[in-house]
């Protein structure tokens, strides 16, 4: 049996919010991460090892429920 997925099916609305992030300052690197998922006060880019800079983006709302995260 085959399942059919219509492209015309309405997409679920995803709540977007202004989110604090860290991004890589190197113009050849596209690394970034959400602030509430970091493990240090100034994270290092996992792709190029540069010190990341703080910023903001409109992103889908995600809740970090990790017990080791206290931000």
pTM score: 0.71
- At 11-58, the pLDDT tens digits run 677 889 999 999 999 999 999 999 988 888 999 999 999 999 999 999
Residue with the bigger pLDDT between 18 and 8: it is 18
What is the chain's length? Answer: 71
Q: Which residues pair with 34 in a beta bridge?
A: 21
CA distances from 69 to 17, 52, 63 (A): 20, 19, 11
Strand pairing of 53-60 and 32-34?
unpaired
Give which of 14, 19, 46 is closest to 32, Cα–Cα: 46
């Amino acid at each position: 049996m085959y399942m059919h997925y219509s492209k015309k099916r309405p997409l679920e609305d995803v709540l977007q919010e202004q989110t604090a992030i860290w991004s890589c300052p190197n113009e050849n690197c596209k690394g970034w991460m959400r602030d509430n998922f970091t493990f240090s006060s100034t994270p290092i880019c996992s792709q190029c090892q540069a010190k990341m800079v703080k910023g903001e983006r409109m992103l889908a709302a995600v809740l970090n429920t990790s017990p080791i995260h206290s931000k």
